[in-house]
Structure 1
Amino acid sequence: MFEKHRSITRTGASAVGVKALGALAVGALAVGALAIGAMAIGRLKIGRARIHRLEIDELVIRKRREIDVSPESDR
């Protein structure tokens, strides 16, 4: 009788363990998904910043051409 009770306890404990492992796995997947999402958002922001910087560089080049900043114009 004691052995049967003991095996039931082990079965219950293993079920609790399996549930805990499942919860950990789900938590790990959620954290991984959040990390991937954060990386994607970061890359989008970096990409936008690069595009913005290129646009500013292009505007500066246009203004320099309009003003005609050259060594000959100083003379």
Structure 2
Amino acid sequence: MMNKFEMPDLGLLHHFLGMGVIQKEGGIFIHQQKYAKTLLNKFGLKDCKPVSTPLVPTEKLKREDECELADEQT
């Protein structure tokens, strides 16, 4: 294609449509690290302790959990 049209070689893709792209021999990894960090900053959670599973794996989910309703304005 470069023989037919004049175009520069920009190298490997790093960002596409707001997503990060990591290309290696084994495949392509697409992530949204920047978006996740933006959300953490927006809701004041950037200094929280990271965990591999953010929920308790043995927790039984119920339709009604007797918690107060979330403020949809936030």
Task: Classify the TM-score, shorter chain.
Answer: under 0.3
- TM-score, length-normalised on structure 2? 0.23
> Higher RCO, 1 or 2 (CA under 8 Å, sep at least 6)?
2
For the pair shown, the structure with the greater C-alpha radius of gyration is 1
